[in-house]
């Protein structure tokens, strides 16, 4: 029986060429699997037909948009996940859902190998292969670009010589990955980190300085889940999509950063994540009024570690699963409404209200009606600072 390889297929030049490239170099049949995570572009049936025309023995397409929003974007939102305090894990959270569909296809079609289009320099090779190994240790992985010497020039030559039904040149100088949670842009002139991004880098967002008048909206959450915009019930996917449009029109969510890749190099990345940034901003503010102080302080450390694990390709790791339980528990009282104003590249919170709020007006006010017993404060301050006071006295005696 001929071996089979399941290929993560995007419909573009590199993965289209990889179908025949893998077949010629390994003798295996290739099953192409495309997963829609809200990246837009061509419809799934067109992509499926192209895979077959390029030599795949079978081709599958999966509409995973709601699955991606509910099971991957939402956990990132509830975790408050920002890698290096800025990057909302646009690409990192899409890889596990793609991996899940690749593994299912491999088992369905009797494949022993899964292939992906990543290079040996990036994070995605780790995310794909560690994820596959975690879900299906019996499967092995290959990367045509990394393992089978499929360079860009060879891909164009291969496609031209075999008259494959794909474009063999690209005017776009960038490497782009996008989904409903955001868009990642790298390479080209951006590799010189002194160069400013030009207008053609952006697609999800308009120029902040040219945005229309302010857009005010109210986001409603139930247990950390966005459930309504301006009183209209929405799914998680619908919330992200609508905020991509509204926040994107205001230039919200542009990120230009040099980040630490898992493989040890620094990389310049430009991201657009208007919906993600708007949601993260509102969600964080609702947590500010509903999470108890020590829980909130601890969660900030969990958020950072969660983001690092996911960025580093450890979505299916035991620590990530354990942190998921903590995050889920932390969302028990994150219910309420947040008013946001989107304008000039910023999402600004202007109001918040919640039936589970820990904000007590009578304790917080400095006006009449204040119920805070200030007579207790002096003793509290004395006891709170006692250990520092004793240590300071010791230091003055011994260090003088």
Each residue's pLDDT, cut to its tens digit, for the chain (400 residues) gives 679 999 999 888 888 999 999 999 999 999 999 999 999 988 889 999 999 999 999 999 999 999 999 999 999 999 999 999 999 999 999 999 999 999 999 999 999 999 998 888 889 999 999 999 999 999 999 998 888 888 878 888 888 888 888 776 556 668 889 999 999 999 889 999 999 999 999 999 999 988 789 999 999 999 999 999 999 999 999 999 999 999 999 999 999 999 999 999 999 999 999 999 999 999 999 999 999 999 999 999 999 999 999 999 999 999 999 999 999 999 999 999 999 999 999 999 999 999 999 999 999 999 988 999 999 999 999 999 999 999 999 999 998 6
93, containing H or E segment: none
Just list the catalytic residues.
14, 95, 124, 175
User: Would you state the pLDDT for residue 88?
Assistant: 98
Phi, psi of 220 (to 5 degrees): -110, 135
Alpha helices by DSSP H, 69-211? 74-79, 94-109, 124-135, 144-147, 152-161
**pTM score of the predicted model:** 0.94
Q: What is the Cα 58 distance to its own chain's centre?
A: 30
> Greatest CA separation found in the chain?
86
Residues contacting 213, CB < 8 A, separation 6+? 343
Residues contacting 44, CB < 8 A, separation 6+? 34, 36, 61, 63
């Amino acid at each position: 029986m001929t071996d089979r390889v399941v290929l993560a297929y995007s419909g573009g030049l590199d993965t289209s060429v990889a179908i025949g490239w893998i077949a010629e170099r390994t003798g295996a049949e290739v099953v192409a699997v495309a997963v829609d995570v809200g990246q837009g572009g061509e419809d799934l049936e067109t992509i499926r037909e192209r895979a077959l025309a390029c030599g795949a023995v079978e081709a599958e397409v999966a509409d995973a948009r709601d699955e991606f929003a509910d099971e991957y974007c939402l956990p990132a939102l509830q975790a408050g996940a920002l890698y290096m305090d800025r990057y909302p894990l646009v690409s990192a959270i899409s890889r596990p859902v793609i991996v899940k569909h690749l593994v299912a296809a491999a088992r369905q079609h009797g494949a022993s190998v899964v292939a992906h289009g990543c290079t040996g320099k990036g994070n995605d090779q780790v995310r794909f292969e560690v994820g596959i190994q975690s879900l299906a240790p019996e499967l092995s992985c290959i990367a045509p670009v990394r393992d089978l010497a499929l360079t860009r020039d060879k891909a164009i030559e291969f496609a031209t010589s075999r008259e494959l039904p794909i474009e063999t040149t690209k005017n776009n100088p960038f490497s782009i990955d996008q989904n409903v949670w955001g868009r990642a842009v790298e390479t080209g002139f951006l590799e010189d980190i002194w160069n400013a991004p030009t207008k053609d880098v952006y697609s999800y967002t308009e120029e902040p300085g040219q945005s229309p008048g302010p857009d005010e909206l109210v986001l409603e959450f139930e247990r950390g889940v966005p459930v309504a915009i301006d009183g209209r019930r929405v799914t998680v996917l619908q919330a992200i999509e609508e905020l991509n449009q509204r926040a994107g029109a205001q230039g919200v969510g542009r990120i230009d950063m040099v980040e630490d890749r898992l493989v040890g190099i620094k990389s310049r990345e430009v991201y657009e994540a208007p919906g993600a940034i708007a949601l993260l901003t509102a969600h964080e503010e609702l947590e500010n009024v509903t999470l108890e102080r020590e829980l909130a302080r601890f969660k900030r450390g969990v958020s950072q570690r969660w983001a690092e694990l996911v960025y580093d390709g450890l979505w299916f790791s035991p620590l990530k699963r354990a942190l998921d339980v903590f995050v889920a528990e932390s969302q028990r009282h994150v219910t309420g409404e947040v008013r946001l104003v989107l304008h000039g590249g910023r999402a600004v919170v202007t109001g918040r209200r919640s039936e589970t709020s820990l904000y007590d007006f009578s304790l917080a006010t400095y006006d009449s009606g204040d119920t805070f017993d200030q007579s207790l404060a002096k003793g509290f301050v004395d006891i709170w600072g006692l250990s520092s006071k004793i240590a300071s006295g010791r230091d003055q005696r011994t260090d003088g």
